[in-house]
Amino acid sequence: MGFLSDDGIFGRIFGFLGKLIALNLLWMVCSLPVVTAGASTTALFYCVLKLHKDKDVRIFRDFFKSFKQNFRQSTMVWGLAAAAAVLIYMEKESIATMPGSMPQIFMLVIAAVCIPLVLILLYIFPTIAAFENKTKTLITNAFYFAVKKPGYALIVAVITILPMFMTLVDAKMFPIYLFIWLTCGFSLTAYCDAWFMWRLFKPYFKEEETKSLPEETRTDQYAF
């Protein structure tokens, strides 16, 4: 009966899935107003990073603690990201009216702008969740983490973007994809991303904090 206990393999698997499902539900509910999506994404990453660091997390307490603590900063970043997306979309639409080779030139310019923006967007909410600093510094640090390990950034981009792309283009499998997204898709994606994030963040925590980091303690100490 050991494998059926909480410490058994099935107990650990179902316990882990239960945490992911609960986090997924919390993220979706708290993101429904749209304007709160940044804060809920930061809270989601706070919890999955704790899962990697401490191997455990108190779902509701830790989620809403981070949601409240990082609400203003995360919402500001979310608003900036939305504004940038609108501007890029408007610029892209205006390209069609340009003469000659101008559309190709401007498409290259847009691509050059989008790449660093996407990298920052992939890393900014985990960075806010893990560290405390001014918003401008956190955005700079998010980009630093992205370019520090390009292989990590590529994998994180694939993990985050590819499943969403497949959901949109594969009509036959859409019901299955939808079921996965509604149960644990968002939290599982964040958990997989956080595996790489924690390995980037860990060296910037003090050694004694890394071993046993109090829940209320976050560091603003950086090596750059």
pLDDT for 77-89, tens place per residue?
Answer: 999 999 999 998 8
Task: Supply 50's token pair.
Answer: 């704790």
Looking at residue 202, the DSSP 8-state letter turns out to be G
Is 206 a residue whose pLDDT tops 60?
Answer: yes
Residue 95 CB-half CA count within 13 A: 17
57 residue type, one letter: V
The reported pLDDT for the residue numbered 13 is 82
Alpha carbon of residue 62 to chain centroid: 16
- Taking the CB of residue 106, how many other CB atoms lie within 10 A of it? 15
- Taking the CB of residue 161, how many other CB atoms lie within 10 A of it? 13
Task: Supply 76's token pair.
Answer: 């500001």
Average pLDDT over residues 108-132: 92
Cα separation values, 78 from 75, 85, 112, 159, 184, Å: 5, 11, 21, 21, 23
The reported pLDDT for the residue numbered 6 is 56
Cβ proximity of 95 and 106 under 8 Å: yes
Cα separation values, 67 from 41, 105, 179, 187, Å: 8, 41, 26, 15
In the chain, what's the furthest Cα-to-Cα distance? Answer: 74
Task: Supply 185's token pair.
Answer: 């898709």
Closest alpha carbon to 41 in 124, 101, 142: 124
Distance CA 198, CA 134 (A): 20
The reported pLDDT for the residue numbered 104 is 78
Question: What proportions of the chain, in percent to the nearest 5, are helix, strand and coil?
Answer: 80, 0, 20
Cα separation values, 118 from 77, 123, 126, Å: 13, 9, 14
Is 210 a residue whose pLDDT tops 60?
Answer: no
148-182 pLDDT, tens digit each: 999 999 999 999 999 999 999 988 999 999 999 99
Task: Supply 45's token pair.
Answer: 């990453």
Alpha carbon of residue 86 to chain centroid: 21
